[in-house]
Chains A and B, each alone.
Chain A
Amino acid sequence: MRAAIASAEAQPLRIGLTLTRTVVVLGAAGVLLALLLVVAVAVGSAEVGIGDTAAILGRRLLALPIPETWAPTAEKIIFDIRLPRVLTAMLVGGGLAMAGTVFQVLLRNPLADPYVIGTAAGASFGAALGIVAPLVLPVLAIGAGTSWLGLGVVQLFAFAGGLGTVLLVYAVARSAGRVQVITLLLTGYAISSVLAAMVAMLMFISGNALRAIFGWLMGSLANAGWMALAFAAPLMIVAFILLLARWRRLNLLMLGDAQAASLGVDVEREKLVLTVLATLATSAAVAISGTIGFIGLVVPHLLRLVIGPDHRLLLPASLLVGAALLVVADLGARLLPGGGIPVGVVTALIGAPFFLWLLRRSQLLRVELSA
């Protein structure tokens, strides 16, 4: 990010962006996302026509008075399986992209993603523990074949693990009331390493549950359902709103701590608040989908190349584009042969080459790197 910061200093931020343009761009993206939703819900391994799909969605979501001409199974497939899955993809993709945008500013590091300071390792450990513990101690078999409030012990452990690890990393990295970026990154790395070793140990003793842990680590939306969504969505939407409201402070933080402080930002407090909000969104996303890579790293870069670094537009755009990208990737995961490839595999397999192509084409980035 140092290079980006330098270029940001060299060329003043394009804050002059008019509100109308923001509204038009985001409005168009929103409409496209809604269309994508219908298409993604219409496609799957079982065949339901696009007409029926639109009619079912219209009836169930918009309460339109459409007569029921479709088979009950079609409605079950659309409403109970595909729709929660597509909505989860949107929520998770948007959340990861937005959290990635925030972390890249906070950590001044172009390699920062939402997982870098411990969310992924902590959530993975939580999930693996949630999967293995019931096998070792049957008393904990809350997630085995049933769950509490439709939300497995695995999701709850993953959420707590992700959030808890970042708070721990933050507390350990803090000295004299300040958190240095480099200390934070190294602390995150060290604690993540310990947790990764514990995950490996759990995998070794997990027996048949190995597949479950492995699938979780690769990231999958196959377990998306209304219950998991009802757990994660409120947490994430609150985090989204609070993060969106902080766009101006993110812009100022990009100028460097001293600059931001001189412009009236309580830098240390702001960093903590942003870390907690971004981690909240990430942990909730990871809890219901596993660790899906790539989206949180690349979407922010991609958007900075295309629309510039102003967070008033960048934050909501990352939300929408991250959402759209994960929906498309999950469509690939569902339709490619192999019976449900983990979506994390698809995001990296298709997304990374696309990003490389964009990198090569982009004049902007060459400026960014040479600065």
Chain B
Amino acid sequence: MSSRRRVPIFFSFFAVLTLLVAACASPGTSPALPGTVSPSAEAVTTYPATLTDDAGREVTLEAEPQRIVSLAPSNTEIACALDACDQLVGVPEYRKGYLPDVLAAIEDLPVVVSFGPVDREAIVAAEPDLILAAGNELTASTDIEALANLGYPVLVLYPESLDEVSADIELIGDALNAQAEAADVTGEMADTVAAVQATVAGLDRPRTFYEVSIFEGTIYTAGEDSFLASLVETAGGEPITGDLRTTAIALEDLVTADPEVIVLGDAAYDRTISADSVAKRPGWDEMTAVTEGRVIPLPEDILITRPGPRVVDGLEALARAIHPEAFD
């Protein structure tokens, strides 16, 4: 058994080195290693293929994956967008916000993660040859490590901008030998983004407050320099941001910032949150957005917080909420 153990130790050592190097050299984008996968759309992946994921880990695929476990809805959507829905053998329990065809395709698949840690037994039982995890503790790093130690290739995806969402779709395209499909998907996404940008170009940029959640009086919004803040900007708003780390904003700071538009992302999950309920909150009634009636619930939050191919649909909905006049 000691020889079995030496492999992960050895692997971990290099992973640490990679991570340290990645930490110094600004991680994020995930180009495949040159020579393994060529960049053109007609490219094919030659296996074994070594890919670098968003955590800076090098992952080697021995052959074209046939059995994929997805640990996040965004990964499920990406796999399905690349015509690999039928290769999925395990998915998260969460079933909201999928398109009907995706929902139908994954309906009877084994659930491998609900809201707690992943079900490692269920994953082993699914016999995957590729696991698509999410970064920033959405998939616990302990689970990622354990699955890697069990010998499975685990790609960790954590895009932090629209470009990185596309890069991740291309990364999965490389992994699945589906470069052409990936190029189609990212091309369509780029078209949607360009259309939104063209529509809002030259318009006033209202101060926009995106409410992620409000819990026990603490208001959470887009953090400074966050993906969400950049989406608000692309959608033609001037984001009012919260703390870089906690993404919280104090009510007095919000009142001082005086939002002209309030977007209620949390209304997607909580029916009690609406323009009316916001107007009744103490201290909120004087904000320009409230007095001018520009408090907009956004059911598409579910798309915005899901960094897959449909994140651009969320962007479009957000732009519509900020600039309704420009879209009709």
Interface on A for B, CB 8 Å cutoff?
44-47, 73, 76-77, 80-82, 131, 135-136, 138-139, 141-150, 152, 154, 204-205, 207-209, 211-212, 215, 220, 222-223, 225-227, 338-342
Contact = CB atoms under 8 A, between A and B. Distances in A.
Nearest to A79: B1
Given A73-B127, A144-B55, A145-B141, A207 B120 contact: no
Interface stretch (B39-47, B145-153, B257-265, B287-295): B145-153
Given A77-B124, A146-B15, A211-B137, 5 more contacts: A138-B27, A139-B23, A145-B144, A146-B57, A339-B113
A46 B125 contact: yes
Contacts of B93: 339
A222 B117 contact: yes
B117 A136 contact: no
Interface residues of B, number: 46
A227 B2 CA distance: 11
B5 interface: yes
B245 A205 contact: yes
B247 A207 contact: yes
Nearest to A341: B116
Contacts of B149: 150, 225, 227
B114 A208 contact: no
Interface string B117-161: 101111011010000000111101111111011100000100000
Interface of B: 5, 8-9, 12-13, 15-16, 19-20, 23-24, 27, 55, 57, 93, 111, 113-117, 119-122, 124-125, 127, 135-138, 140-146, 148-150, 156, 245-247
A150 B142 CA distance: 10
Contacts, number: 131
A222 B123 CA distance: 14
Given A148-B12, A150-B149, A339-B115, A76 B23 contact: no
Contacts of B140: 211-212, 215
A77 B125 contact: yes
Nearest to B223: A207
Contact of A207 (B19, B136, B145): B136
A222 B145 CA distance: 13
A342 B127 CA distance: 26
A142 B16 contact: yes
Given A149-B12, A150-B8, A150-B9, A141 B137 contact: no
Contact of B137 (A147, A212, A340): A212
A241 to B, nearest CB: 24
13 contacts: A80-B150, A81-B121, A82-B121, A145-B144, A146-B141, A147-B16, A149-B12, A152-B145, A204-B246, A207-B137, A208-B138, A223-B143, A338-B116
B117 A340 contact: yes
Contact of B125 (A73, A208, A341): A73
A224 to B, nearest CB: 9
B121 A44 contact: yes
The 6 closest A-B pairs by CB, nearest first: A339-B114, A146-B15, A138-B23, A46-B125, A46-B121, A145-B55
Contacts of A44: 121
Nearest to A136: B245
Contacts of A76: 124, 150
Contact of B124 (A46, A148, A149): A46
A198 B54 CA distance: 30
Contacts of B125: 46-47, 73, 77
